[in-house]
Structure 1
């Protein structure tokens, strides 16, 4: 808030007006709008933001509209999921689709959409949070393989983008298909990529803290991990089960 002009008695507000009463909730406009006005404003706001939502979804679900090449890690991870599905004879395309959605869009992008303050130095008010929740819900519905049956009692945030979601679903399916068609990433290229990323961000993370978190996970599931490493042929050649067991024993010794 800018300091009020005492001579004219006029208060100048910055972006939003602070509430005069402490018991009034943030974002409460003081009076309820009638449903007709609310619906009209809701549709008008959607129309204003439609291009930005479309641009966001097209950028996230496209291998060519990113402004840069698709990260190697995404291709490598999706190929790994397809390989695991083949290994376990899982031929249901919905299962493969859900795995990929849970790994990237629903695990990462929804969190960024819902919480822009993680990326930008901004304050997220309750009104902004409510609007972003609608976009995030639409994003999640677009990644789903199930049909959304809507009726007159469905919430407005579901009805608002009901006609757009089929198109967004096609974008998601096309995105996964386009990634599957890209050339496979070799282990050597992936290792080189990870080494380069580690070098670029070497001073930005606490390595000991990260290792401690990994150790907590390893010690909790030590039997399952050691058993899996003993069954894997490549892990047996590198004696990974013995190394993990030795590491757990060494870390568990009180010093």
Structure 2
């Protein structure tokens, strides 16, 4: 009874006919460039990077824990079902062939015929995004500004900035080192700008 809805969900996550979201295209291109720069020739490594950045970090978590964005309570039965679906998405994002045995976990057995098909969908989606025209940093900036303006009344920007700063301050040495070592960040003087922000908050960062 639920199979149709699960198939529709998987299809909606990995649409190859439409233009991918600007942020996804930009991020995947960054990963492609990093793989080339590091001389990574094994496609399964790049596949794992992309899978961990989008479907696993975001979609798998939201499927398993919809209360992150919705005000709802889950019954134990619903929670178990969502966990099975989430784990099936994790399996679909693997680049290795899907194999099952009598000792396989329940989600592998329930969706044994579907996971291999979903794996193909994930690979085709990654390839589709890679083949699209690149997104420049300027295009990304314009998109994020438009998104920010459209959502201005729905979020507390000061609270969000505070949480970001708490995170950055926690890993300040690594963040500053990364900014100083990245040419694009050097051109934008991000390390100096971050230090100025820290100074204005009376919390020296470097």
- TM-score calculated relative to the size of structure 2: 0.88
Q: Looking at both structures, which has the greater relative contact order when contacts are Cα pairs under 8 Å and sequence separation is at least 6? A: 2
Q: Deviations over 1:39-92 (max 9, x none)?
A: xxxxxxxxx22222111111111133xxx7532111111111111111111121
Query: Which structure's residues are more often helix, by fraction?
Result: 2
Match of 2:82 in 1: 132
The farther-off stretch of 121-130 and 165-174 is: 121-130
Moved over 6 A (4+): none
Residue 15 (structure 2) aligned to one of 62, 73, 88: 62
How many angstroms apart in 1 are the aligned matches of 2:22 and 2:53?
15
1:89 paired residue number:
39
Q: CA–CA distance in 2 between the matches of 1:167 and 1:148?
A: 10
* Shift in CA distance, 224/150, structure 1 to aligned 2, threshold 3 Å: same
Q: Which residue of 1 aligns with 2:4?
A: 51
Distance 1:169-1:202 versus aligned 2 partners, 3 A rule = same
Q: Note the aligned Cα RMSD (angstroms).
A: 2.2
Structure 1, residues 165-205: CA drift from partner, whole Å, max 9, x if none? 11110010001001111111122221111111000001211
Structure 1 position 102, deviation (Å): 0.7
TM-score (structure 1 length as normaliser) = 0.72
Q: Which runs of 5+ in 2 are unaligned?
A: none
Against the structure 1 CA distance between its residues 79 and 153, is the aligned structure 2 distance closer, same or farther, given a 3 Å change threshold? same
**Partner residue of 1:109 out of 59, 64, 69:** 59
CA contact (8 A) 2:26 2:134 kept: yes
